[in-house]
Chain A
Amino acid sequence: MNAVGKIKPNARPFYQKYTASQLKDALRKMYLIRRFEEGAEEAYMRGLIHGTMHLSIGQEGSAVGATMALRNTDYITSTHRGHGHCIGKGADPKLMFAEFFGKEEGYCRGRGGSMHIADVSTGNLGANGIVGGGLPIAVGAALAIKKQKRDDVAMCFFGDGASNEGAFHEALNMASVWKLPVVFVCENNKYGMSVSTERSMAVANVADRAAAYAMPGVIVDGNAIADVEEAIAEAIARARRGEGPTLVECKTYRTRGHSRSDRNRYRTKEEIEEWKARDPIPHFEAELMAHGLATAAEVTAIRESAEAEIAAGIEFARLGTDPNPSEVTRDVYSNEAA
């Protein structure tokens, strides 16, 4: 079955339907995301990049778990905290770093930066700087899928904060009324910037809101990749069958602040430490080893290979081409005459 040994027949579906190599690739993606963001943070500290960024450190389980069952032709819409979704869907970290560094080689030719990084060739319709901005866009992409009679899906990532936007209501209602193939993936990391879900939501769970749109609302441990993937796989299958959208809420946590300006005044050190102890990466490593799907040496090799790729990506980005200031209006329109 795999390099290490046979998977137990009573193992959960997640460990049965993927090969050991696919599962190890998922671990590698989680490491790529973690190290990408740590590398970006360090580059920022050293003054190599400017602007701001929103790190998803601690949320890699939901990003990779949600995207594992997607095809290249499936779409995602992402968020301001979207590096993980981008890598999960298949983007190349070195081209993401080039974007971070504002270079022509970057995915957006240096025009988008952290908040808009997207590899369109893998079906990523864009990270989004507007909270809730991607929700109706995903519904539109799903409408196109239906019109084109494809069995692809549109996966919409959003946070707990976005579920308080009007766009959330409009998007989920339309997706359900028209039975569109959307998978709404809420990464509930407990805070919309500094305001907790307890202080901003009238219900306990974002998934509780699914009932208002007559769609399934599922809650999973977002730090357990197997939990995420299994729930999402079911939602994807439902969407592909033409049965309409599902809302999956991944309970997770960002251990870093909201953005560069965050001084962590709204949460306790204890809370952060408690969630760090539930880090999705060691959790997944332990499960892989317990199932005999990877050895400790393999896990180390995966981590080191991800680290090497990230280091090479930063070097690639540093040596990239700066955009020409005379081309500031390029790509505002398809034909430049406008």
Chain B
Amino acid sequence: MSVRELTYAQAIQEALAQAMDADPSVFLMGEDIGVYGGAFQVTGDLVHRYGEDRVMDAPISELGQAGVAVGAALAGCRPVLEFQFSDFATLAMEQIVNQAAKLRFMLGGKVNVPLVMRFPAGSGTGAAAQHSQSLDAWLAHVPGLKVIQPSTPADVKGMLLAAIDDPDPVMVFEHKLLYKMKGEVPEEPYRIPIGKAHVAREGRDVTVVATSIMVHKSLEAAATLASEGIDVEVIDLRTLRPIDTATIIDSVKKTSRLACVYEGVKTLGIGAEISARIAESEAFDYLDAPILRLGGAESPIPYNPELEKAAVPQVPGIIEGLRNLVRGRM
């Protein structure tokens, strides 16, 4: 299998193209995903390659589009819906939470809702409070949905292809700052299973469970801490629902320390769930220190660039937090 360097956005586009090549029931829908190429140029020129029937520009009707995706999925299609910003999921919550997530259950297992919704998420672009949120934990709270947050070009391609294959609704959170990140991506189609975390860096002293862009910030922090003799294990959670608890438990039993690093608001975020799962597990007895959560500030995302940085975990703060955790200065 030949491997090239692609950006995260190109890897998504390749996955979408390969999914459409393999299965005529797959189609894309969203706002400005046609000739415009998508707000983040993810769909790019796909409309020219696959036509307007398969790369459908939709009216600015997020609730309606989500419902159309549900209905099309019920009737035998595999829609992939792009939200222009993940914040706009709030406009479509009815269809996502009440319909997509529950129809299979409510109808006694007689139907499937094989749809994918893609959500450009996160801060760092100066787009302020209504275009920068991380609402992944909101959707991960809903049984019936699967929620993934791939952090690398290779992962996003493989997980998106797995999501499109999946018989259930899969929500894909893509951090906007990752779109231009480059990485090696195999050319052929391949799948990375939903529900499996990835140990991005092995270490002995502390386990960091990170999501999305925080995986990269945590790896950067780990590189610095290595020079201080602190050996950090970084787990890329990759899937928020279902959570791969086993991988985290195994790691904590090895390192005896746990930190959760995520961009969503800290309170009631994914870190709370991971902390609770460890507290409930046999790994609790292995802990040598309290669990550390580094999450987003208890505020909307501000506009001013310095304030914006201050609202989510940054590398220096992660280094300091992990150093204190390992050195026993909590």
Kindly supply a per-residue 1/0 record for chain A positions 137-173, scoring 1 wherever the CB is within 8 Å of any chain B CB and 0 otherwise: 1111111110110000010000000000011001101
* B239 closest partner in A (C-beta): A338
Count A-side interface residues using an 8 Å CB cutoff: 48
Which interface residue of A138, A140, A170 has the most chain B CB atoms within 10 A? A140
A226 within 8 A of B: no
B320 within 8 A of A: no
Choice from B25, B66, B143 contacting A136 with Cβ under 8 Å: B66
Kindly supply a per-residue 1/0 record for chain B positions 45-83, scoring 1 wherever the CB is within 8 Å of any chain A CB and 0 otherwise: 000000001000011010111111111111111010000
**Chain A residues with Cβ under 8 A from B59's Cβ?**
170, 173-174, 177
User: Within A55-92, which residues are at the interface with B (CB < 8 Å)?
Assistant: 75, 77
Task: Verify B71–A107 contact, CB threshold 8 A.
Answer: no
Task: Verify A334–B167 contact, CB threshold 8 A.
Answer: yes
B229 within 8 A of A: no
**Which of A30-38, A122-130, A191-199 is near enough to bind chain B?**
A122-130
Count B-side interface residues using an 8 Å CB cutoff: 45
Bound-state CA distance A56–B65 (Å) is 30
A320 within 8 A of B: no
A133 within 8 A of B: yes
User: Within B90-126, which residues are at the interface with A (CB < 8 Å)?
Assistant: 94-95, 98-99, 103-112
Are A144 and B76 also in contact (CB < 8 A) when A137-B71, A333-B168 are? yes
Are A120 and B107 also in contact (CB < 8 A) when A167-B63, A337-B195 are? yes
A293 within 8 A of B: no
B321 within 8 A of A: no
**Chain B residues with Cβ under 8 A from A130's Cβ?**
94, 98-99
Bound-state CA distance A293–B110 (Å) is 39
* A146 closest partner in B (C-beta): B53
Bound-state CA distance A166–B76 (Å) is 26
**Chain B residues with Cβ under 8 A from A313's Cβ?**
none
Bound-state CA distance A10–B105 (Å) is 50
Bound-state CA distance A118–B108 (Å) is 10
* B27 closest partner in A (C-beta): A147
Bound-state CA distance A174–B66 (Å) is 12
B37 within 8 A of A: no
Bound-state CA distance A28–B284 (Å) is 65
**Chain A residues with Cβ under 8 A from B110's Cβ?**
107-108, 118, 120
Closest chain-B Cβ to A165's Cβ sits at a distance in Å of 9
Task: Verify A140–B67 contact, CB threshold 8 A.
Answer: yes
**Which of A109-117, A235-243, A279-287 is near enough to bind chain B?**
A109-117
A270 within 8 A of B: no
**Chain B residues with Cβ under 8 A from A75's Cβ?**
75
Task: Verify A144–B105 contact, CB threshold 8 A.
Answer: no
Task: Verify B72–A144 contact, CB threshold 8 A.
Answer: yes
Choice from B98, B108, B241 contacting A108 with Cβ under 8 Å: B108
A106 within 8 A of B: yes
Choice from A116, A125, A177, A337 contacting B74 with Cβ under 8 Å: A125
Kindly supply a per-residue 1/0 record for chain B positions 5-20, scoring 1 wherever the CB is within 8 Å of any chain A CB and 0 otherwise: 0000000000000000
Task: Verify A144–B104 contact, CB threshold 8 A.
Answer: no
Task: Verify B71–A126 contact, CB threshold 8 A.
Answer: no
Bound-state CA distance A135–B105 (Å) is 20
Are A116 and B76 also in contact (CB < 8 A) when A170-B59, A338-B195 are? no
A268 within 8 A of B: no
Closest chain-A Cβ to B243's Cβ sits at a distance in Å of 10
Task: Verify A331–B61 contact, CB threshold 8 A.
Answer: no
**Chain B residues with Cβ under 8 A from A324's Cβ?**
none
Task: Verify B108–A334 contact, CB threshold 8 A.
Answer: no
Bound-state CA distance A138–B140 (Å) is 26
B266 within 8 A of A: no
Task: Verify B71–A144 contact, CB threshold 8 A.
Answer: yes
A332 within 8 A of B: yes
Task: Verify A143–B104 contact, CB threshold 8 A.
Answer: no
Closest chain-B Cβ to A82's Cβ sits at a distance in Å of 13
**Chain B residues with Cβ under 8 A from A108's Cβ?**
106-108, 110
Task: Verify B72–A141 contact, CB threshold 8 A.
Answer: yes
B186 within 8 A of A: no
Which interface residue of A77, A136, A329 has the most chain B CB atoms within 10 A? A136
Choice from A106, A109, A139, A145 contacting B67 with Cβ under 8 Å: A139
Kindly supply a per-residue 1/0 record for chain B positions 226-258, scoring 1 wherever the CB is within 8 Å of any chain A CB and 0 otherwise: 000000000000000110000000000000000
14 contacts between A and B (CB under 8 A): A108-B106, A120-B110, A126-B111, A130-B98, A136-B66, A139-B68, A140-B73, A170-B65, A171-B67, A331-B105, A333-B144, A337-B195, A337-B242, A338-B195
The 6 closest A-B pairs by CB, nearest first: A140-B71, A136-B67, A170-B64, A144-B75, A331-B109, A109-B108
B residues within 8 Å of A by Cβ?
25, 27, 53, 58-59, 61, 63-77, 79, 94-95, 98-99, 103-112, 143-144, 146, 167-168, 194-195, 241-242
A residues within 8 Å of B by Cβ?
75, 77, 106-112, 116, 118, 120, 125-126, 128-130, 133, 135-145, 147-148, 154, 166-167, 170-171, 173-174, 177, 329-335, 337-338
